[in-house]
Every structure is written in structure tokens, then in C-alpha cells.
Amino acid sequence: MVNLSRKLLPSTSALAAFDSVARLGSFSGAAEELSLTQGAISRQVSGLEEQLGILLFDRTSRGVVLTAAGADYAKAVASALAQIRSASLAAMTKRHSDQLNLAILPTFGTRWLMPRIPQFVARHPEITLNFATRIGVFDFDRDGIDMAIHIGQPDWPGAECTFLMEEMVAPVSSPAFLKSHPVNKGEDLLRLPLLHMASRPGAWSHWFESLGIAGTPSQGMRFEQFGNVAQACIAGLGVALMPLFLIDSELASGQLVEAFPHQVRSPSAYYAVAPMSKADFRPVAAFRAWLLEEVGRYREKEEVVGW
């Protein structure tokens, strides 16, 4: 009986690792989200499968896919974890009405949003911010999230999408790579190793089309995070289309340079998204208003320098 009880109560660490892999569809994405190594995530999931005696994922050369049993288990685990998180936050803060549970994008959150958060805290000390990292569309109620910063299109089901900003992208590489692979015209990039973002599969095609260049972009390495793409470029692995405002420091330091002087407006844009049930929730309304002010100031500054 004791052994059975233990089998039915996996560790929260294993469940969190499984939930993250199930949502993101990869061990590497889960590792970044949970700040663990990919090996640690793999061991947690394998241990959970062994404990339950079932296969939760089919592992292929292209990644991992939930099995039928894994998909059913993922729904139940996600709901349970969301309840635990909500209960923990309530116990820690004891202030329900003045909390904002905000989902942020990893690179955008770290490089653009976080340096500005002190201004919001100074203006609204009564609001407690709780941050989570999310990529793509998710279930607000299931994850216990009030609001999200989203990159993509304003087509989130059952949610209000407030436009924040567009972004300019350009091909970048390391100076050493560009020296050994000179680019004199846009077509030259077709023969070079191109790095891709998994969330933006058509980005390179869009860039070449903007120049009227016919041809199929090479199927090079694919990444899930802009931070990883930037590091791959710095290491000399190829050329990537990067949002310039997210790599200000690398461009300023000379670690990265524009491989070809042609910037295009990305088909994707940034939005503040909140479920319809929370659209008028006071912390959501306050954060949205502040965010729009910050974006306005940023865009004015960028226009001055020629964005």
C-alpha cells in the first residue's frame, strides 16, 4: 500500500519538468524555462515514466511528441500544477486583488521589459507582480495567468490583444564569419548557412521576398530562443534574422554585425494579451496603461535615431 501511494504521488519537480516539455514540445525549451540542464529534464521525465510504468513521449529525431496516455496525463497535471501555484501565491502574499500574474517572453522580458519594471513598481507599489515564462498561445485559466506579452498575430482565442510594437529584423553574423563569407548582394545569403527560429518558420522567405529575390532559403539550424540564436551567430555558425532592438548590446560591442544592410518589418508584432474575463481587472488595466506609455516613449526614441 505504501509503495502504491508513492507511485501515485510523483515529485513536483518531475511533474513540472513533464508539464514544461509537454507545453513546449522539447527538452531544450523546458530546460531554458526551468533554468535546468537538458539532461536534468530528461532524467526527470524518464524517472516519471518509470514510476508510472507508461510511456509519456515518443522520441524521434525531430523531437518529442506526447503519446495518447501522455496527452491525457498532461492535461490533468497542468490543471493540478496551476492550482498548486495559485494556492502557493495566495499563501505567500495573502493579497489576491493586488496581484498580477504575468507571462513574459524570455528574451523580450529579460532585455526590454525587466529594466523598465522598477518604474511600474514605483508607480504601483500596491500591485505585486508574479512572473512566468511562456512561449506561444496557452490556457490562461489553466496556468493561472492574468496577462501575457505575446509575439505573433492578434488572434488569441477568447482574449483581448493590445498592440504594443512592431520590430525590425536584419541578417546578422559575427565579424569573423562575414569576413570569411563576404556578402555583396542579398542573393549571396542563399548559399550561406542560415539560422532559423522555430516560432518564425517563414522569416527568411519574407526577407528574401522583400528584395525580390527568388530562391529557397537553406534549411539550417533551428532554435527556440533568440538568446541561443545570438550565441550561435557569435560562435560563427551562420547568419540569423534578428530583431535589432533585442541585440543592442551585441551590436554595440561588435560581437555581431549586419551581414547585409537591409532591414524589414517582421510579419509578427508584440501584443499585451489578457483573457476577456480579466480585461478590466485593475492590475491588468494598470499594467497595460503603463506598458503603452513605455512603448510610446521607446518608439519616440527609436524614431529619433532612425528606426
Position 1 scores a pLDDT of 44
**Residue labelled with grid coordinates 527538452:** 27
**Residues contacting 80, CB < 8 A, separation 6+:** 15
Separation of alpha carbons 146 and 99, rounded Å? 9
| Model-wide pTM > 0.95 | no
Separation of alpha carbons 138 and 158, rounded Å? 11
Separation of alpha carbons 184 and 67, rounded Å? 48
The whole-number mean pLDDT for each consecutive block of 10 residues of the chain, a chain of 307 residues, reads 65 92 91 91 93 91 88 92 80 67 91 94 94 91 94 92 92 96 94 88 90 85 86 95 88 94 90 93 96 91 54
Torsion of CA 244, 250, 253, 254, to 10 degrees: -80
What backbone phi and psi angles, to 5 degrees, belong to 79?
-65, -45
Position 307 scores a pLDDT of 41
Position 43 scores a pLDDT of 94
- Between strands 257-258 and 147-152, the pairing is unpaired
| Residue 213, burial from CB neighbour count under 10 angstroms (0-12, 13-18, 19+) | middle
Q: Are 243 and 168 in contact (CB under 8 A)?
A: yes
Position 202 scores a pLDDT of 84
Which residue type occupies 193? P
Position 60 scores a pLDDT of 82
